[in-house]
Amino acid sequence: MRNLVIGAVLVGLIVLAALISFLWTPFDPTQVDAALRLQGPSGAHWLGTDRFGRDLVSQLMVGARTTLYVGVVAVGVAAVIGTPLGVFAAAGPRWLGEIVLRANDIMLAFPALLLAIMFGAAFGASTLTAMVAIGIATVPSFARLARGSALQVLNTEYVLAARSAGRTGLAISVRHVLPNIAGLIIVQCSVSFGIAVLAEAALSYLGLGTQPPTPSWGRMLQESQELLAVQPRLLIVPGVAIALAVLGFTLLGDGLRDRFDPRLEGHRAQG
Amino acid sequence: MLRALLALTLVAALAGCSAGSTAYSSPSADSITIGFSAAPANLDFTRTDGAAIPQALLDNVYQGLVRLDANGAIVPQLATSWTVSPDRRTYDFQLRPGVTFTDGEPFTADTVKFSVDRVRTAWTISLKSQMDVVDHVEAVDPLHARVVLKQPSNGWLFSMASRLGAMFAPNGVGNLATTPIGTGPYRLDRFNRGDSLVLKANPGYWGPKPAYGRVVLKYFQDPTALNNALLSNGIDVISSVQAPDSLAQFASDERFTTIQGTTTGEVVLSFNNAKAPLNDKRVRQALTYGIDRKALLDTAWAGKGLLIGSMVPPSDPWYEDLAGVHPYDPAKARQLLSDAGQQHLTLRLRIPNLPYAVDSAQVIRSQLAAIGVTVSIEELDFPAVWLKQVFTGHDFDMSIVAHVEARDIVTFGNPKYYWGYTNPTVTQLLAAADTGTPEQQIADMKQVARTINADAAADWLFLLPNLIVAKKGITGLPPNQVGEAFDLSALGRS
Amino acid sequence: MMVILRRAGIFLLTLAIASIVVFAFMAVLPGDPAQVALGVNATPELLAQTRHAFGIDRPLPVQYLDWIGGLFTGDFGRSYVTGDAIGPQLLDRFEVTLWLVGAATVVAVVVAVPLGTLAAAKHRTASGTVVSGLSQLGAAVPAFLAGIVLVEIFAVSLRILPSGGWTPPDADPVAFLKGLVLPALSLGLVQAAVLTRYVRSAVLDVLGEDYLRTARAKGLRPTRALIRHGLRNAAVPVVTVLGLQLATLLIGAVVVERVFVIPGLGSMLLDAVGGRDLIVVQDVVMVLVAAVLVVNLLVDVLYTVVDPRLRRAR
């Protein structure tokens, strides 16, 4: 319960910051002003300015948008492909299940960051490319989870009854399986969200993530790393933002899991 | 906090295992480690472009007949003296006696003929065309080489001071990518690709013994890692600071001194002159008026560096300060854009993924937004992708690159060069400058610099400074970086 | 035994398909390696000649078989950019990365097992909650940021450890160890945080088992009982997670190698990507993929060995 509350508050803050940034930010987050470079916190600039004289608060707010975008794309790709794949593997014929399992094994050989680097080489660096890659690499964990829980649902009596009543596999999957496993899938989404946010930071650091001038927390870190000794604020602010975002989504996932499946405390975080 | 605590415990445990906890330092006083930012892909500058290879090897391992001194003057190296015929086509070089290559071969006039001829036959890099003016080379006697040019050329001898003039041992060119053989004060000890290059003093060197018997050139792609290496005593010198905002750290530290001079690296905002909309001079001028270069320099390079206004660094004899010709004037910029019918302009700024370019691009994007120009930034992997798409494919509106080669203003005479600038007057002036007298050369080159500036053929954002940070007590570091080489034999200690 | 053989068969099949995926991916990449190698002034004739020399003018299946055949004999081909044989360099770099990953694994295990056990044994007390909370927070920090901060503390401020670089163990063991500390910590601590949670929940599961209650009833102190009977059973899920983490570490090394300027596989991959040296990218990716698959195989095998029940179940 505590996890759920803390996680929901942190995630809520990020969503709120992102939503407000569409309507209002203290300054234009990409407005460069040489005269305002590297200023400490002040009444006008609550967290100060960066090397380009850009307002840190504004960047943080718009960066929250990027963070959510990153997670939604990566998790969206993974869930939309992985969940049906897992369900069909469970509900469909045996050979289909076997193929999905083997395909999963192959996918597992391409960890997220590696796939993102390969995609970056092929299609050029961008947030979208990177996150589609992260999403694809996360498909197996969704497929596995969906298959496992779908098998459990399929063995329940009412599904067996539906089957004997002549319902097709597809109909059963849509009517009975998906609603029953939705909770666990949402948990997995939340956990994967945090992993995607970390991956964006790492890729931005390597120059394969978010491209300028789009503000992103990973990029803010990358642009200021040389100033750690001189202006630690410039790394602490985005660093804390990233850590809290990841923490928020992980806790939210944990909290939700406790609700949906109290027995499975702590398991399955990485599929 | 926990992680920091854990780190402390573990470090204490591990540091306990090792002998003492003294600072990480060079193995011996006879050795010096210099940090560079761009690593050479291999050691063959005859077939591989880029500044990193000659920076490490020229004047240190390879030597030419002549070299550039710290002020950009041509001085003797393997030639003791030379004369030029009255028609300025024939150069007679007196060669230094008793010089041998590290594989034991003697250096003679035949070597000169072999090396100069080889540029045309075996080299593949684009610079080789600077040797096209050579008609033939004769070995008059072992210590007397004669080079005859097709027509007089002021630029040729200057080129001979670059990598193009490097002397190669006829039997030592079999594996240039890994085994360089030269006559210089150092020879290759070890090349760890992507990491470091280790040079050792050449025991058979004809000149004075260098102060450091062993030099490690260590490569750091990441500017922060380069800074940290010096701060933590991992290296002794940063050859070129890539994160000038961090200079404060070194200035406040008693251990270090900072050198600041000039280079030949013009950071150019290049325009695609051959393609609409930047084939319109008014649009180019508008962009030039719309960029506050002082603010850009302050932001992108911490105010270090020089505003130049054209493609000429102060170390060239025809330098003039043209930085004020197009002052920052957003109103005028808007007017010019509206004259050209381009009030809603969108431009693609396709840049290499290098710190100076990425930083400058963000400033330019923000400044041009103020005059109604939308700029979309695309970072490309440098060199591979940038070379292919922008430099070769001409697929860009604007780009930002530091043109570091000396006297590269001549590229404005080549309509096929990536910025597609076509101006027959400039081409003619450049040709006349090369063949004319040295006085005429200066006059003509000044005219070229003014013309391209007036045409806004590009926007010269700033000249990269020579920013070196070194441990106190290291002497002989180059105040200016005017040639391709980083001269290691001049280094000493006080 | 049959289980292991079957698993090995699946491994080989997976490896073969993965190699086709890697090759196909590189084959469709934009960019002409010959153009990249020759630079900007290449003539069409020279380009054709270079393509022929690289062997990239042949049909794709032939190129694939040639590449795979080469891998079996240790021939990784030659770099398009430098012309050097890739094999020896790849081996050097792999060794470096293995040291780093090995050290990071040690860090992760040494930190996570005691902390996770503690958190489980005291899961209703304040200290257990603190450890859990900290491990949550630790897992939320990007590894490269941890690296940057560690460098600032131990290399720049305290100057007791190098900020980066690599010394081979045979050249100078002391310098080697010192150089390994910070990279191994920044890579290992984040994983330790993740692992701690798994250790905690595995131990919690075990604590609830009947035989442990029996042992305690027979008079063994709880910690004693746990160490004597519980840890072995808790090891099964932990080893599985550790195996999955090894794959994460291998790839995570890419980032940490950049922070610490370590010439491992990761920096080789990034350099090759930047230089569009596609054959090198292809080789490095294949080696990493194979390494991940081998780790997965070993974990599976180990799993069956540690937990006899699974021998029948599978």
Residue boundaries of the structural domains of chain A: 2-23+45-270
Name the band, by pLDDT with cuts 50, 70 and 90, for residue A152. confident
Name the band, by pLDDT with cuts 50, 70 and 90, for residue C212. low
Do residues C142 and C182 both lie within one domain? Answer: yes
Name the band, by pLDDT with cuts 50, 70 and 90, for residue A263. very low
pLDDT at site C245? 84
pLDDT at site C120? 83
Share in percent of chain C as helix, strand, coil (round to 5):
80, 0, 20
Residue C306 lies in a domain: yes
pLDDT at site C46? 75
Average pLDDT over residues B483-492: 93
Residue A262 reports pLDDT greater than 80? no
Closest by Cβ to C39, choosing from B14, B49, B220: B49
Lowest mean pLDDT among B50-54, B105-109, B275-279: B50-54
Residue C298 lies in a domain: yes
B377 close contact with A: CB closer than 8 A = yes
Chain A to chain B Cβ contacts (< 8 Å): 69
Question: Which positions in chain B touch C163 (Cβ < 8 Å)?
Answer: 225, 228-229, 231-232, 234
Pick the closest to residue C269 from C73, C84, C93 (CA basis).
C93
- In this complex, do A212 and B379 lie within 8 Å of one another by their Cβ atoms? yes
Pick the closest to residue B32 from B380, B490, B460 (CA basis).
B490
Do residues C300 and C181 both lie within one domain? Answer: yes
* Secondary structure of residue B256 in the 3-state scheme: strand
B6 and C188 in contact (C-beta within 8 Å)?
no
Summarize pLDDT for A8-53 with one digit per residue, the tens: 999 999 999 999 999 999 999 988 898 899 899 998 899 999 999 9
- In this complex, do A229 and C156 lie within 8 Å of one another by their Cβ atoms? yes
Residue C88 lies in a domain: no
Candidates C136, C187, C285, partner chain A, best to mutate (most A CBs within 10 A) = C136
Do residues C39 and C182 both lie within one domain? Answer: no
Name the band, by pLDDT with cuts 50, 70 and 90, for residue C82. confident
* CA distance linking residue B115 with residue B167, whole number of Å: 6
A230 close contact with B: CB closer than 8 A = yes
pLDDT at site A259? 79
Pick the closest to residue C81 from A115, B50, B172, A203 (CA basis).
B50
- Out of A224-233, B257-266, C60-69, C158-167, give the one with best mean pLDDT: B257-266
pLDDT at site C41? 57
Residue B279 reports pLDDT greater than 90? yes
Residue B171 reports pLDDT greater than 70? yes
Average pLDDT over residues C196-213: 79
pLDDT at site A164? 78
Domain's final residue, options C55, C72, C89: C72
Do residues C135 and C196 both lie within one domain? Answer: yes
Pick the closest to residue B246 from A54, A236, A226, C164 (CA basis).
A226
pLDDT at site A105? 83
Pick the closest to residue B109 from B130, B150, B83, B140 (CA basis).
B140
Lowest mean pLDDT among B291-300, C167-176, C187-196, C205-214: C205-214
Residue C80 lies in a domain: no
The residues facing B469 across adjacent strands are B238, B258
Candidates B226, B381, B390, partner chain A, best to mutate (most A CBs within 10 A) = B381
- Out of A218-227, B298-307, C84-93, C225-234, give the one with best mean pLDDT: B298-307
* Secondary structure of residue C83 in the 3-state scheme: coil
| First vs last C-alpha separation in chain B | 44
Name the band, by pLDDT with cuts 50, 70 and 90, for residue B461. very high
Lowest mean pLDDT among A114-123, A174-183, B441-450, C228-237: C228-237
CA of C170 vs chain A CAs: smallest distance (Å)? 30
Residue A196 reports pLDDT greater than 70? yes
C249 or B50: which leads in pLDDT? C249
DSSP strand pairing (B256-271 vs B398-403): antiparallel
Residue B244 reports pLDDT greater than 80? yes
Average pLDDT over residues B362-391: 90
A216 and A173 in contact (C-beta within 8 Å)?
no
Do residues C66 and C105 both lie within one domain? Answer: no
Candidates C130, C161, C163, C277, partner chain B, best to mutate (most B CBs within 10 A) = C163
Average pLDDT over residues C175-203: 91
Do residues C106 and C203 both lie within one domain? Answer: yes
Mean pLDDT of all residues belonging to chain B: 90
Average pLDDT over residues A208-225: 89
Question: Which positions in chain C touch A236 (Cβ < 8 Å)?
Answer: none
- In this complex, do C139 and A246 lie within 8 Å of one another by their Cβ atoms? yes
Burial class (CB in 10 A: 0-12, 13-18, 19+), A15: middle
Range of the domain at C261: 97-310
Do residues C28 and C155 both lie within one domain? Answer: no
Summarize pLDDT for C215-236 with one digit per residue, the tens: 667 766 666 666 666 677 777 7
Q: Which CATH class is domain A2-23+45-270?
A: mainly alpha
Summarize pLDDT for C84-131 with one digit per residue, the tens: 788 988 998 999 999 999 999 999 999 998 898 888 888 778 887 888
Question: Could you write out the DSSP letters of every residue in C245-308?
Answer: HHHHHHHHHHHHHHHTT--SHHHHHHHHHHTT-HHHHHHHHHHHHHHHHHHHHHHHHHHHHH-T
Pick the closest to residue C148 from B246, A121, B19, A118 (CA basis).
B246
- In this complex, do C137 and A250 lie within 8 Å of one another by their Cβ atoms? no
Do residues C157 and C205 both lie within one domain? Answer: yes
Q: Which residue of A has its CA nearest to B359?
A: A52
pLDDT at site B333? 96
Angle (CA) B485-B264-B365 rounded to 5° is 130
Average pLDDT over residues B370-399: 89
Q: Identify the chains in contact with A, defined as 3+ C-beta pairs within 8 A.
A: B, C
CA of B326 vs chain C CAs: smallest distance (Å)? 33
Question: Which positions in chain A touch C252 (Cβ < 8 Å)?
Answer: 113
Do residues C205 and C164 both lie within one domain? Answer: yes
Name the band, by pLDDT with cuts 50, 70 and 90, for residue B26. very low
The residues facing B145 across adjacent strands are B93, B139
CATH number assigned to the domain comprising residue C140: 1.10.3720.10
Do residues C13 and C150 both lie within one domain? Answer: no
Residue A61 reports pLDDT greater than 70? yes
Q: Which residue of A has its CA nearest to C273?
A: A121
Distances (CA, A) of A94 to A89, A107, A151, B19: 8, 20, 12, 62
Residue A242 reports pLDDT greater than 70? yes
Question: Which positions in chain B touch A229 (Cβ < 8 Å)?
Answer: 231, 246, 249
* CA distance linking residue C153 with residue B1, whole number of Å: 13
pLDDT at site B364? 96
Distances (CA, A) of A33 to B347, B355, B395, B441, C91: 21, 18, 30, 41, 49
Summarize pLDDT for C25-50 with one digit per residue, the tens: 887 766 667 766 666 556 677 778 87
Question: Which positions in chain C touch A267 (Cβ < 8 Å)?
Answer: 201
- In this complex, do A246 and C293 lie within 8 Å of one another by their Cβ atoms? no
- In this complex, do C148 and B224 lie within 8 Å of one another by their Cβ atoms? yes
Q: ipTM for the complex?
A: 0.86
Name the band, by pLDDT with cuts 50, 70 and 90, for residue A93. confident
Name the band, by pLDDT with cuts 50, 70 and 90, for residue A160. confident
Mean pLDDT of all residues belonging to chain C: 83
C162 and C178 in contact (C-beta within 8 Å)?
yes
The residues facing B92 across adjacent strands are B83, B146
C16 close contact with A: CB closer than 8 A = no
C134 close contact with A: CB closer than 8 A = no
* CA distance linking residue C288 with residue C281, whole number of Å: 11
* CA distance linking residue C161 with residue C153, whole number of Å: 9
Residue B241 reports pLDDT greater than 50? yes
CA of C238 vs chain B CAs: smallest distance (Å)? 21
A130 and A209 in contact (C-beta within 8 Å)?
yes
Summarize pLDDT for B415-439 with one digit per residue, the tens: 999 999 999 999 999 999 999 998 9
C101 close contact with A: CB closer than 8 A = no
Burial class (CB in 10 A: 0-12, 13-18, 19+), B28: exposed
CA of C144 vs chain B CAs: smallest distance (Å)? 12
Do residues C49 and C107 both lie within one domain? Answer: no
How many structural domains does chain C have? Answer: 2
Average pLDDT over residues C56-76: 86
Do residues C13 and C55 both lie within one domain? Answer: yes
Residue A226 reports pLDDT greater than 90? no
Q: Which residue of A has its CA nearest to C290?
A: A109
Name the band, by pLDDT with cuts 50, 70 and 90, for residue B361. very high
C236 close contact with A: CB closer than 8 A = no
